[in-house]
């Protein structure tokens, strides 16, 4: 059974992936935040001495590198992006090279692409507007420049929702992601703020390709199997091939919960583009992967289950500034 090490294993994608993979592989996680899971070790990637000690001890065959400053928010100190994305990846690459680890799977982002009216392919034009996207692209280049390292780079579109077995979802404090914000606030009869209504789209709100977390985990699993078997590097877009506008999501949640939602549109964020939709034909052909869980009905239903679980546990979400 292969041993996999996940960085950022206490984050949203990392925690879901840990539970998704642990029945199929020997899975070890590291995260700078302490976890209740005994196999998720507290370790900041920037701490090279401790990182080296963990990797020497665990001897993983493949690294799944998820740790990052992940929110597209230009109000966050830019140094955090460069430290937690670019600098941290440089540190990780140094240590895995020292320990002769030959394979890595890296979570990148569709935010690196130039805005396009057509679904985006892996060879689409690059134009990184946000600091988040710029630092992710820097990480991609560092990984690709490493000799004797095979890699899979996965460019995720908008990851969302929750696993259903066990029920695990995203819990950012403060929360800024659209779907958990809309669903949570709708369920709690709170005002919902939407970024921008003057985008160059059919209804004025931005369009994104939403991909269920279960499909993300499946794509990573298939990437592990691919790089193990073929020992070849590759880059794949991971998305649903379908765009939804913010207003379309609002209308679906409204219909599902049978509620009149309290909405207010606010100024769009710097770095946000009008439309990002995936063309995932390459990953379908090479890995045999499909987005099987990413219809809006399942996305919202699983998000509701996760919010109900949080409510029972007494966990309350915080929202940034005017998102209160």
Q: pLDDT tens for residues 164-220? A: 989 999 987 778 789 999 999 999 999 999 989 999 999 999 999 999 999 999 999
Q: Tell me the per-residue pLDDT of 160-176, one tens digit each, with 9 for 90 and over.
A: 999 998 999 998 777 87
For residue 285, count CB atoms less than 10 angstroms from its CB and return exposed for 0-12, middle for 13-18, buried for 19 or more.
exposed
- Asked if residue 318 has pLDDT above 80, the reply is no
Tokens 């996940």 label which residue? 6
DSSP string, 204-228: SS-EE-EEEHHHHHHHHHHHHHHHH
Token duo for residue 266: 């606010």
pLDDT confidence of residue 316: 79
At 128, the pLDDT band (50, 70, 90 cuts) reads confident
- Asked if residue 90 has pLDDT above 60, the reply is yes
CA distance 43 to 52: 10
| Average pLDDT of the chain, as a whole number | 92
At 322, the pLDDT band (50, 70, 90 cuts) reads very low
| Residue 290 near residue 222 (C-beta atoms within 8 A) | no
pLDDT confidence of residue 70: 66
- Asked if residue 321 has pLDDT above 60, the reply is no
Q: Tell me the per-residue pLDDT of 20-62, one tens digit each, with 9 for 90 and over.
A: 999 999 999 999 999 999 999 999 999 999 999 999 999 999 9
pTM of the model: 0.94
Give me the torsion for CA of 232, 48, 39, 318, rounded to 10°.
Answer: -100
**What is the set of domains in the chain, with CATH numbers?**
3-323 (3.40.50.720)
At 247, the pLDDT band (50, 70, 90 cuts) reads very high
| Nearest residue to 272 via CA among 217, 182, 195, 212 | 195
At 76, the pLDDT band (50, 70, 90 cuts) reads low
Strands in 161-256 per DSSP E: 163-164, 167-168, 192-195, 207-208, 210-212, 234-238, 244-245
pLDDT confidence of residue 73: 58
């Amino acid at each position: 059974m292969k041993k996999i090490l996940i960085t950022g294993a206490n984050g949203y994608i990392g925690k879901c992936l840990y539970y998704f993979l642990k029945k199929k592989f020997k899975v070890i996680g590291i995260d700078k935040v302490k976890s209740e899971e005994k196999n998720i070790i507290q370790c900041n990637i920037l701490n090279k001495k401790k990182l080296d000690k963990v990797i020497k001890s665990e001897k993983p065959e493949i690294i799944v590198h998820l740790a990052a400053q992940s929110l597209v928010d230009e109000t966050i100190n830019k140094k955090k992006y460069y430290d937690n994305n670019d600098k941290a990846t440089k540190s990780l690459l140094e240590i895995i090279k020292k320990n002769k680890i030959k394979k890595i799977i890296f979570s990148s982002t569709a935010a690196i692409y130039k805005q396009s009216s057509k679904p985006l392919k892996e060879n689409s034009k690059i134009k990184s507007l946000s600091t988040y996207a710029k630092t992710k692209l820097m990480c991609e280049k560092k990984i690709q420049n490493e000799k004797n390292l095979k890699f899979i780079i996965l460019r995720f579109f908008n990851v969302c929702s929750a696993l259903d077995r066990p029920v695990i979802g995203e819990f950012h404090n403060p929360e800024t992601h659209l779907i958990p914000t809309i669903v949570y606030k709708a369920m709690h009869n709170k005002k919902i703020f939407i970024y921008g209504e003057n985008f160059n789209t059919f209804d004025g709100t931005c369009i994104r390709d939403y991909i269920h977390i279960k499909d993300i985990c499946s794509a990573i699993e298939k990437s592990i199997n691919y790089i193990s078997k073929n020992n070849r590097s590759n880059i794949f877009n991971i998305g649903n091939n379908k765009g939804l506008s913010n207003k379309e999501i609002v209308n679906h949640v409204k219909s599902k919960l049978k509620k009149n939602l309290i909405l207010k549109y606010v100024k769009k964020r710097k770095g946000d583009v009008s439309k990002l939709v995936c063309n995932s034909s390459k990953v379908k052909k090479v890995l045999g992967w499909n987005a099987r869980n990413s219809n809006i009905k399942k996305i919202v239903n699983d998000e509701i289950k996760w919010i109900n679980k949080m409510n029972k546990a007494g966990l309350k979400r915080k929202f940034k500034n005017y998102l209160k």
